[in-house]
Amino acid sequence: MLIMSSHLPPLAALRALEAAARHRSFTRAADELNVTQSAISHQIRNLESLWGHKLFERGTRPLTLSKCGAEIVPIARDFFGKLSATLESFSVEDLPGPLKISTLESFALTWLVPRLGDFHEHYPEIDVWISTKDDLIDFAVEDVDLGIRFGNGNYPGLHSSLLFHEYVFPVCSTQLLNRLGVPEHPIDLARFPLLQVNDDAMSSQWETWISAAGVPELPLDEGSRFPNTNMALQAAVAGQGVALARSAHVDSGLSAAGLTRLFDVHCPATSAYYLVCPDGAQSRPRIAAFLGWIEAEAARSQQRYEMEMTSMKSARSGS
């Protein structure tokens, strides 16, 4: 269907439509755009008059888009996203300013923060602001540019790219080995306290490793439990038991953390790290600069771990 230029709406009206659809409320859209609720309502009525179709089902709470509105809003949203990304890409003058990243606390402490010095050397004009939370990000309401999450990569409506896979393996302190002896086979862990993590991404990882090691009889119904991997690793450092480490959490080396790896069972975790951001935002200069840098760092980290695994297996097979 050919649409005459006279049917093209003012940008202000299109923005009002997109905001009202996203918030499912004229009032919240008005708050975002710093106008009155009646102004939003007036803009929507003008669009409906211009196109001869209703955009919202009247009398519904929260607001519900009509069939016509449901077809138009994604086009409007895509337009604003691409326009914003294009305007940002015109000049490197857009690079200065903070880049706000949300990630898991454990990942920030053990992997990301130690590497940020290198990023600042390459992009001294970009300040990185880090916030930590375990929940998913709502980019529509949270002041965040980019998220790093541990999951399966299924984040509807967002741009998602794999950062790297992780591997899990049991670790413990030297003092625990001195007290209980060195386990020769995975089944020997039955006489060790197993430290577990109570979160959705890690709660099943012990089962995954036990299956890969071929020792399904290891008990998992007792022992200390912790809210995150970092806390479990700290307990392992203190000699309280055997924890399941993730490769990114001990990337700087087990000896530096006061831990020893047990066995060479190469077991991929059931989840991986992903970068997420609003679709289209990945082309914005500050985000694109960070994505390029962290993807290169992640590739080096993954390669280093896999080389260490190969070296460990070669050493044990030759002994």
pLDDT tens per residue across span 45-63? 989 988 989 999 877 778 8
124-160, pLDDT tens digit by residue?
889 999 999 877 788 888 889 999 988 888 888 888 9
Question: Which residue, 4, 70, 16, is CA-closest to 47?
Answer: 16
- In this structure, the strands spanning 267-278 and 158-172 are antiparallel
Tell me the mean pLDDT in the region 234-239.
92
- Choice among 173-177, 204-208, 238-242, 243-247 with the minimum mean pLDDT: 204-208
* Residue 182 pLDDT: 93
Tell me the mean pLDDT in the region 82-106.
71
Phi-psi region of 242 (alpha: psi -120 to 50; beta: other; left: phi over 0): beta
CB 32 within 8 A of CB 19: yes
Q: Does the structure show a pLDDT above 90 at 102? A: yes
The owner of tokens 């089902």 is 57
301-315, pLDDT tens digit by residue?
877 777 776 766 666
Q: Does the structure show a pLDDT above 80 at 252? A: no
Helix axes 37-51, 26-33, angle to 10 degrees: 110
272-302, pLDDT tens digit by residue?
889 999 988 888 888 999 999 999 988 888 7
Q: What is the mean pLDDT of the chain?
A: 83
Q: Does the structure show a pLDDT above 60 at 116? A: yes
3-state SS assignment for residue 18: helix
Q: Where does the pLDDT of residue 253 fall: very low under 50, low under 70, confident under 90, or very high at 90 and above?
A: low
Question: Which residue, 140, 139, 116, 111, is CA-closest to 127?
Answer: 116
Q: Does the structure show a pLDDT above 90 at 318? A: no
Cα–chain center distance at 160: 9
